[in-house]
Amino acid sequence: MFTLAARKAVLLAGCVILLAAAPASAERGKSPKAGPRVGRYALQFQLDDNFKLSDFQGAVLSAKYHRSAQSAVRLGLDFDAESEEGKQTTAGEDSASVAERQEFETARLEFKVVAQYVRHSNPGRTVSYYRGGGPFVGFRRHKLLTDSSEQEETRWSAGLEGVWGAEWALNRSISLLAEYGIAAGYFSSSREAGRDAHPDLTSESTGLQVKAGPVRFGISVYF
């Protein structure tokens, strides 16, 4: 069995070999493998360490559209919602006794939208280098309600993300890509809590964050 570090090393080595071998054919001129992509759409997926596919920029949608030979726009959408209710039992000092039984309700909502403009420096070749960026907006809310207490946490975030990387065309419909990224954004979070015997407690915070993401390996499927 390969360890996680070994799988990462194999994936990184494979991408480096493929990208290193491709420029030789790219130097001879435009490659028929890439083909014209003006007006074409693509779905993008991320290649995980164990070579399984996952979401690239959003679990609901991660898509790309070529406006011209050199420019494209990307859109990522992530959404998750959950609601649950039930009963919670707390054991007393004697394991056979019940100290408290409460009903509870939980609700969670999360979403994130990413929109980016990217520009390819040498379109039509086997290897195309690109850079770009755009805004993102995220929201998360979690609420817990019991017979004697209530808690709610809310967080907003917004900012800009820059990306740069290389895309290698296997054929007219499939490309592999490796990408760096860095994001800078503003966030605002609040937390409210209350109990029967105590007044409500509220905390709020805001801040700025700059974070470089890990290198992402992905695959684009054009249609």
Q: What is the value of pTM for the model shown? A: 0.74
| pLDDT interval class at 99 (50, 70, 90) | low
Count of structural domains within the chain: 1
pLDDT in tens, 38-90: 889 999 999 887 778 888 988 899 999 999 989 999 999 999 998 888 776 66
Distance between CA atoms of residues 155 and 66, nearest Å: 33
Residue 119, amino acid = R
pLDDT in tens, 114-171: 999 999 988 778 898 999 999 999 999 999 888 777 888 999 999 999 999 999 999 8
User: In this model, does residue 29 exceed pLDDT 90?
Assistant: no
Q: What is the CATH number of the domain that holds 92?
A: 2.40.160
* pLDDT score, position 222: 93
User: What is the DSSP code (8-state) at residue 213?
Assistant: P
* pLDDT score, position 210: 95
What range defines the domain where residue 96 resides? 4-222
* pLDDT score, position 59: 86
Summary mean pLDDT of the chain: 81
